Amino acid sequence: MPAAYLYYLYAQTLAMTIFSKIIAGEIPSYKIAENDRFFAFLDVYPLVEGHVLVVPKVETDKLFDLEDSYLSEILVFAKPIAKAIEKAFRCNRCGISVIGIEVPHAHVHLIPINTANDLNFTRGKLNMSKEELKIVQEKILMAMEE
């Protein structure tokens, strides 16, 4: 391969968002679900236990810049995850939020909530151990199987 092409590939890798690196398996994650268009995994700095991120595999900064098919399918993909979150955690419902400021890759937050304040992203985030995150992952995965 020509050196210029190898440099191009290397530059593309550097330009990947952290979410693309997670999807590619370059960064470990606590995967919840995956299909050919989307990837869902635990937020490792969650607002509350059970906080899941749903990410399209195509790298697009803003949610509403996604193709229409992705916009509709992201909710259909997220639905069984949200239902599992509601089963796995004591909550009134699974809230959904789109912020998109910290990572320039469109994504949706699924968060077990009891009040609107549970979706307040200005609050401190939990600092969970790997073991605690694994337990949360297993709770959601088991609830998805029910």
CATH of the domain at 60: 3.30.428.10
Asked if residue 7 belongs to a domain, the reply is no
- Tell me the three state secondary structure of residue 101: coil
Domain span holding position 107 = 30-145
Determine the pLDDT at residue 16. 81
* Annotated active-site residue in 51, 105, 107, 109: 107
Instruction: Determine contact, residues 51/110, Cβ cutoff 8 Å.
Output: yes
| Annotation says 109 is catalytic | no
Instruction: Determine contact, residues 30/39, Cβ cutoff 8 Å.
Output: no
Q: Where are the beta strands (DSSP E) in the chain?
A: 31-34, 38-42, 52-56, 93-97, 108-113
Number of compact structural domains in the chain: 1
Asked if residue 71 belongs to a domain, the reply is yes
Asked if residue 113 belongs to a domain, the reply is yes
Asked if residue 64 belongs to a domain, the reply is yes
Q: What tens digit of pLDDT does each residue of 78-127 get?
A: 999 999 999 999 999 999 999 888 889 999 999 999 999 999 999 889 99
Asked if residue 49 belongs to a domain, the reply is yes
Asked if residue 2 belongs to a domain, the reply is no
In percent, the amount of the chain with pLDDT more than 90 equals 82
Report d(CA 116, CA 3) in Å as an integer. 53
pTM: 0.88
Instruction: Determine contact, residues 135/141, Cβ cutoff 8 Å.
Output: no
